[in-house]
Amino acid sequence: MKTQALAALIVLSSATFAAAAPAMQNVYARSGTTLDGKWHVIVDPYENGAYNYRRDPLDAAPNPTSGYFLDRRPRDRTDLVEYDFDASPTLMVPGDWNSQDDKLFWYEGTVWYRTRFDFTASPGMERQFLHFGAANYQADVYLNGAKLGRHVGGFTQFEYEVTGKLKPAGNSVVVKVDNTRHADAVPTVNTDWWNYGGLTRDVTLVETPRSFIRDYEVRLAPARAGAAARLALSVQLDGASGPTPVTVDIPEAGVRARLMTDAAGSARLEVPVRKLTFWSPQQPKLYEVRLSSGKDLVVDRAGFRRIEVRGNQVLLNGAPVFLRGISLHEENPLRGGRAYSEEDARLLLGWARELGCNFVRLAHYPHNEHMARVADELGLMLWEEIPVYWTIAWDNADTLANAKDQLTALIDRDRNRASVIVWSVANETPVSEPRTRFLKSLVDAARALDATRLVSAAMEVHVDPEDNNHRIVDDPFGAYTDLLSFNQYIGWYDGLPDKLDRIRWTFAYDKPVVISEFGADALQGMHGDALTRFSEEYQQDLYRRTLAMLSKIPQWRGTTPWILVDFRSPRRPLPVIQDGWNRKGLIGENGTKKKAFFVLQDFYRKDADSHAGGK
């Protein structure tokens, strides 16, 4: 399967990080033990647990004798050990530390996490993997005092094989999590969201047979005129000792395919399928897919749909569609902190459904896996993005490798989700040669990993120097994307809402125009006239005028206004009104809808689809 492209990317990235092997597909369908729960933690702003006073890394010593990763207890009363996980406070995993402890609300730096567990292998299961849904931002992982590796990137899964490294009792997993921001990181030092730190997603000890199905893809094969639909199946085994049979069963679609892997454990096959209900927001049909090989069985639910662009139209299953969207951050405002659970996904995507959406932009980084799986079920199309946000270090090869790592992990994880229709490689990045080269290389990587979805980014707009009411979208990066998507804040950062009535647009590309952001801050419950900033009436008026302006654009095919619900941001200090919240939500942090929510809902119910471009 795509191992060559993947291998090339890994080679590229391994030069920079001791990266973990690509995580296995569909970890939630595997057998294993959750390590979620209370973990003991040590807050370590000076990284005292990792470096000695000479700043030498303690885990670099051949037989380290100190360092919190050893999780050591004093041998006797004379033994000097200046930390004690058992006596230290605990934090819940999954979860960020900022919303769990007021003392850590603003904290950026290192926190050591430690859990202990006993282990007995399940029958027939000969291999074990320590799997992390995500850890923000850099995680150094240790098992029983030995380093397993380092993962960089706050929003992607990673795992380490620990077969043969586990003890029957008292296994110690220690993770040094550091969310310090760095200029050459992805994201870089400046963002408009809270830098939640910690083991933010599920941690699982996964068990598999000696040979198991590490990765697979089930999707609709490209259409052939007049030919019946076909499914493209591909699998990648891990641990097979030579060519091995794999069966793919999709009972409801009448598919039972037998594949034989090559010596490297990979196989692919296209099979005709007589009757198939295509996945769509109106009918989010999911099929049970059962993949088995030897002792291994992986069960998934997948939908089959086609997404493409034709001229300036977006086609879903061959028919023009308007993307009735909304943007959202991975945060549960009601509980506070990073969202991580299926319930969180149902809360947030449920609100999007209520708004009348068929599309959601998961901004600005890969959200947890539950989001795409719940979107599959609810019939919401998704835009997924990596945090190449604002002023990234464009000329830094490690930064590019990091961005590619995150893109690869995202595509690997969600490649079987029908809901995902767009891979976005960036947001609001200033036009320059190095920037466009960097982004082009991400587009190439995305297309190499997955040629079946659209690729885009939130691009730049500029004002006509001759005419302040004329906006031009001719970002050179637009030449490489499937959509022409950009953010615009006319009426909030750029003038007052009445300006929207006078604006005209010019686009350098005949591509579907998707407005990836527009909006205005409003404190829920604050009222005034339509010119009172931060009032619900101002936001309401801006939405009305923006939708009217956009409706005049012939190639307008969708939008994801900023944003579904208020979210935390360290860039929003205005007392009483913002208090550390970006208030551009259509829903307040307490879950109460603002007036503009109903303006957009009304538009989505009555007018939006007329802009799909179908005649």
Kindly identify the residues of this chain, within the stretch 504-523, that bind ligand GCU according to CB under 6 A.
Answer: 517
CB of 327 to ligand GCU, least distance (A): 8
Kindly identify the residues of this chain, within the stretch 185-224, that bind ligand GCU according to CB under 6 A.
Answer: 192
Q: For the CA atoms of 390, 396, 400, 402, what is the dihedral angle to 10 degrees?
A: -90
Cis-peptide, bond into residue 94, ω within 30° of zero: yes
* Exposure class string for 519-543: b at 16+ Cβ within 10 A, else e: bbbbbbebeeebeeebbbbbbbbbb
CB of 279 to ligand GCU, least distance (A): 29
CB of 365 to ligand GCU, least distance (A): 11
Toward ligand GCU, which CB reaches closer, 430 or 614?
A: 430
Contact 199, 131 (CB under 8 A): no
Is residue 427 part of the contact set for ligand GCU (CB under 6 A)? yes
Helices and strands per DSSP (H, E), number in the chain: 7, 33
Toward ligand GCU, which CB reaches closer, 113 or 597?
A: 597
For residue 166, the one-letter residue type is L
Toward ligand GCU, which CB reaches closer, 96 or 460?
A: 460
CB of 50 to ligand GCU, least distance (A): 32
Number of residues that bind ligand GCU (CB under 6 A): 9
Phi–psi pair at 446, nearest 5 degrees: -60, -45
Is residue 13 part of the contact set for ligand GCU (CB under 6 A)? no
Is residue 331 part of the contact set for ligand GCU (CB under 6 A)? no
CB of 566 to ligand GCU, least distance (A): 10
Toward ligand GCU, which CB reaches closer, 98 or 488?
A: 488
Closest CA to 390 of 458, 437, 475, 485: 458
Toward ligand GCU, which CB reaches closer, 428 or 536?
A: 428
Toward ligand GCU, which CB reaches closer, 157 or 487?
A: 487
Query: Which two tokens mark 140?
Result: 């150094």
Toward ligand GCU, which CB reaches closer, 192 or 536?
A: 192
Contact string 456-495 vs ligand GCU (x = CB under 6 A): -------------------------------x--------
CB of 397 to ligand GCU, least distance (A): 26
Instruction: Find the binder of ligand GCU among 300, 344, 385, 428 (CB under 6 A).
Output: 428
Closest CA to 478 of 535, 518, 516: 516
Entry field: residues in the chain = 615
Rg (CA), the chain: 25
Kindly identify the residues of this chain, within the stretch 217-276, that bind ligand GCU according to CB under 6 A.
Answer: none
Instruction: Find the binder of ligand GCU among 128, 559, 582, 586 (CB under 6 A).
Output: 582
Strands of the sheet containing 212-220, edge to edge, are 212-220, 230-238, 266-272
Toward ligand GCU, which CB reaches closer, 240 or 515?
A: 515
CB of 390 to ligand GCU, least distance (A): 8
- Facing residues of 257 across strands? 248
Toward ligand GCU, which CB reaches closer, 192 or 217?
A: 192
DSSP 154-193: TTS-EEEE-TT---SS-EEEEEEEE----TTSSS-S--SS
CB of 420 to ligand GCU, least distance (A): 20
Q: Is 542 helix (H, G, I), strand (E, B) or coil?
A: helix
Toward ligand GCU, which CB reaches closer, 141 or 459?
A: 459
Is residue 562 part of the contact set for ligand GCU (CB under 6 A)? yes
Strands of the sheet containing 319-320, edge to edge, are 307-310, 313-316, 319-320
Query: What does DSSP say about strands 484-487 and 513-517: parallel, antiparallel, or unpaired?
Result: parallel
Count of alpha carbons within 13 angstroms of residue 119, beta-carbon side = 30
Toward ligand GCU, which CB reaches closer, 83 or 194?
A: 194
CB of 563 to ligand GCU, least distance (A): 7
CB of 358 to ligand GCU, least distance (A): 22
Contact string 144-183 vs ligand GCU (x = CB under 6 A): ----------------------------------------
Instruction: Give CA angle at 126 (125, 128), nearest 5°.
Output: 90
Is residue 584 part of the contact set for ligand GCU (CB under 6 A)? yes
Query: Which two tokens mark 59?
Result: 């885990």
Q: Is 477 helix (H, G, I), strand (E, B) or coil?
A: helix
Toward ligand GCU, which CB reaches closer, 107 or 390?
A: 390
- Facing residues of 198 across strands? 136
Please give the residue whose beta carbon sits closest to ligand GCU in the complex: 192
Q: Point out which residues bind ligand GCU (CB under 6 A).
A: 192, 364, 427-428, 487, 517, 562, 582, 584
